[in-house]
């Protein structure tokens, strides 16, 4: 009882005992993380858990020790200005440690996700870097605001100034912000990716070569780059020929003469498609009779190419192969013909007179 009374009377000794207890607890937690959790994480195939333990190890240990210091300081009053400065300084140090850890973990997660998205063509290099930096700045600003609140700094004037500055920036950069958020919506909706073929509502068709901060660029088959602001393309009708799967169906119109063996024509066209290595076997090619035209019976060969960029080339190859196959099988490809009758009124009159 006397020892407890002495401990209560000696605040400094009580504080040292509290700090010692928390130090032992922090050291025990350090050994647990280092010898147990690291060993378990090293046996997994995922590398992410090893890095998470590495980044969280130091903040956790120092947080336990920092709580011990705060507990010790709360035992009794301190003389001014230490009563205010020391707890806030400890909280600030802990906050900085955690902000650093969160930024490192955030960079790790962003690199893992957005880098894979970029490799798959979902996002361009510049917008990738912009998103990464913007999100990092958001984390830092949130941490700084928390730090200012720890020191009981009035944030109202700061928020008011930031609001006025934000309105001015928004009005000055209205189009730029519209394009930026248009690019974000394209990324989030997964409308198209780099390397895919799209058709704009204005009729341009080409390969997406870049999804940037301000605009999207497509390259047409004439090797012409078309640049479209993201704010416009986000509100336009887009046909993605490469989605949901990369293959693309082509239609090859073919006409044969009346009187041709239609079953034979169908077999020849299917054989032509089957002989082409760039034509997908599944779904299977098919032939459809479309119309009885003025001079021909019109068929259409429907098949799928592996890549939309091969559309024009494979239509060319299939038409050439069909022409040769029809010639071998004696299938006539008609062309318009007209019989012209010439009437000579003067010759007829002379013949009648004679």
CATH architecture of 248-328: 2-Layer Sandwich (3.30)
pLDDT at 2 over 70: no
- DSSP codes of every residue in 253-314: EEEE-TT--HHHHHHHHHHHHHH-TTB-SSSPPEEEEEEE-SS-EEEEEEEEESSGGGHHHH
How confident is the model at residue 9, as a pLDDT?
55
How confident is the model at residue 310, as a pLDDT?
85
| C-alpha triplet 240, 194, 198: angle, nearest 5° | 20
Q: What is the mean pLDDT of the chain?
A: 82
Q: What is the mean pLDDT of residues 157-173?
A: 72
How confident is the model at residue 122, as a pLDDT?
52
Structure tokens at 62: 């120092």
Q: What is the radius of gyration, based on Cα positions, of the chain?
A: 38
Sign of CA dihedral 26, 136, 144, 150: negative
How confident is the model at residue 275, as a pLDDT?
93
How confident is the model at residue 170, as a pLDDT?
67
How confident is the model at residue 60, as a pLDDT?
92
- DSSP codes of every residue in 200-253: -TTS-EEEEEEE-SSEEEEEETTS-EEEEEHHHHTTS--EETT-SSS-EEEEEE
Residue-wise pLDDT for 170-212, tens only, equals 676 677 777 777 877 777 777 888 888 898 888 888 988 888 7
According to DSSP, the β-strands at 286-292 and 205-211 are unpaired
pLDDT at 142 over 80: yes
Residue-wise pLDDT for 237-274, tens only, equals 888 888 778 788 899 999 999 999 999 999 999 999 99
- Domain coordinates of the chain in residue numbers? 2-146, 154-244, 248-328
One fold for both 154-244 and 248-328?
no
In whole angstroms, what is the distance from residue 138 CA to residue 209 CA? 30
Least confident of 1-5, 41-45, 87-91, 251-255: 1-5
Least confident of 3-7, 37-41, 134-138, 208-212: 3-7
- Looking at domain 154-244, its CATH class is mainly beta
Share of the chain above pLDDT 90, in %: 28
Count CB neighbours of 214 within 10 A: 17
CA 22 to chain centre: 47
Residue-wise pLDDT for 306-322, tens only, equals 888 888 899 999 999 99
Residue-wise pLDDT for 30-53, tens only, equals 999 888 888 888 888 777 788 888
At 349, the pLDDT band (50, 70, 90 cuts) reads low
How confident is the model at residue 120, as a pLDDT?
57
Residue-wise pLDDT for 56-75, tens only, equals 899 999 999 999 998 888 88
Residue-wise pLDDT for 112-129, tens only, equals 766 665 555 555 555 666
User: Residue 199: helix, strand or coil by DSSP?
Assistant: strand
| pTM, entire model | 0.53
How confident is the model at residue 46, as a pLDDT?
78
């Amino acid at each position: 009882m006397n020892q407890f009374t002495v401990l209560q009377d000696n605040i400094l000794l009580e504080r040292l005992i509290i700090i010692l207890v928390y130090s032992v607890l922090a050291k025990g937690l350090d050994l647990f993380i280092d010898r147990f959790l690291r060993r378990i994480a090293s046996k997994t195939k995922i590398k992410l858990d090893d890095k998470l333990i590495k980044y969280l190890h130091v903040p956790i240990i120092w947080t336990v020790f920092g709580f011990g210091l705060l507990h010790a300081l709360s035992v009794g009053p301190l003389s001014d200005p230490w009563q205010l400065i020391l707890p806030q300084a400890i909280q600030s140090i802990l906050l900085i440690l955690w902000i650093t850890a969160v930024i490192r973990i955030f960079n790790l997660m962003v690199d893992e996700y957005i880098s894979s998205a970029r490799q798959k063509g979902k996002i361009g290099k510049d917008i990738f870097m912009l998103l990464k930096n913007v999100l990092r700045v958001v984390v830092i600003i949130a941490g700084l605001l928390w730090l200012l609140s720890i020191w009981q700094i009035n944030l109202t004037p700061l928020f008011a100034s930031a609001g006025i500055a934000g309105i001015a920036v928004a009005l000055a950069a209205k189009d730029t912000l519209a394009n930026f958020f248009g690019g974000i919506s394209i990324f989030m909706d997964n409308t198209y990716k780099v390397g895919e073929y799209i058709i704009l509502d204005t009729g341009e068709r080409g390969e997406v070569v870049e999804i940037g901060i301000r605009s999207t660029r497509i390259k047409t088959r004439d090797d012409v780059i078309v640049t479209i602001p993201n704010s416009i393309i986000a509100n336009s009708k887009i046909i993605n020929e490469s989605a949901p799967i990369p293959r693309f169906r082509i239609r090859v119109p073919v006409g044969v003469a009346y009187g041709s063996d239609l079953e034979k024509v169908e077999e020849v066209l299917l054989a032509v498609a089957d002989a082409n290595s760039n034509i997908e076997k599944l779904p299977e090619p098919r032939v459809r009779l479309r119309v009885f035209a003025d001079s021909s019976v019109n068929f259409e060969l429907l098949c799928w190419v592996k890549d939309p960029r091969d559309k024009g080339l494979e239509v060319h190859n299939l038409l050439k192969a069909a022409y040769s196959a029809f010639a071998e099988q004696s299938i006539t490809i008609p062309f318009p013909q007209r019989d012209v009758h010439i009437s000579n009124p003067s010759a007829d009159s002379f013949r009648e007179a004679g």
